[in-house]
């Protein structure tokens, strides 16, 4: 989780003190952790959107049941704000419920 190809693309922060070096290492680890969590969330949402577009109501409900906990977990980890997660869940649920009507 620490080493990644994309760290070379980002401008590296040059630390002058021991504490700043540690902060830089911590920030890089947190950034990668947040990126992984955000990617999992986006993948789940993409799967739900495909189920809504292509599938039946039952298929969309199953996808929603798997997507909602992923979004909530991403918010609980602090990667996204809890109101952002709530808004996403609400809008996705609304789309699935509109399929029934």
What would the pLDDT profile of 33-65 be if each residue is shown by its tens digit?
Answer: 999 999 999 999 999 999 999 988 999 999 999
Mean pLDDT of 14-27: 91
Give the Cα separation of 9 and 11 in Å (integer): 7
| pLDDT value at residue 14 | 81
For residue 84, is pLDDT > 90? yes
Tokens of 16: 């002058």
> How much is the average pLDDT of 12-25?
87
The answer to whether the CB of 68 falls within 8 A of the CB of 89 is yes
Task: For domain 16-100, give its CATH number from 1.20.58.110, 1.10.340.30, 1.10.3720.10, 3.30.360.10.
Answer: 1.20.58.110
User: CA-CA-CA-CA torsion for 9, 11, 16, 22, nearest 10 degrees?
Assistant: -50
pLDDT band per the 50, 70, 90 thresholds, residue 12: low
- Dist. CA 12–CA 28, nearest whole Å: 10
Which pTM does this prediction carry? 0.81
What pLDDT score was predicted for residue 7? Answer: 55
Cα gap 49→60, rounded to integer Å: 8
Distance CA 16, CA 85 (A): 38
């Amino acid at each position: 989780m620490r080493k990644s190809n994309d760290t070379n693309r980002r401008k590296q922060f040059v630390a002058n003190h021991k504490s700043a070096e540690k902060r830089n290492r911590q920030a890089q680890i947190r950034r990668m952790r947040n990126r992984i969590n955000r990617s999992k969330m986006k993948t789940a949402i993409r799967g739900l959107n495909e189920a809504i577009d292509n599938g039946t109501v039952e298929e969309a409900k199953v996808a929603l049941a798997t997507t909602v906990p992923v979004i909530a977990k991403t918010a609980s980890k602090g990667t996204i704000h809890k109101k952002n997660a709530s808004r996403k869940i609400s809008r996705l649920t609304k789309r699935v419920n509109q399929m029934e009507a």
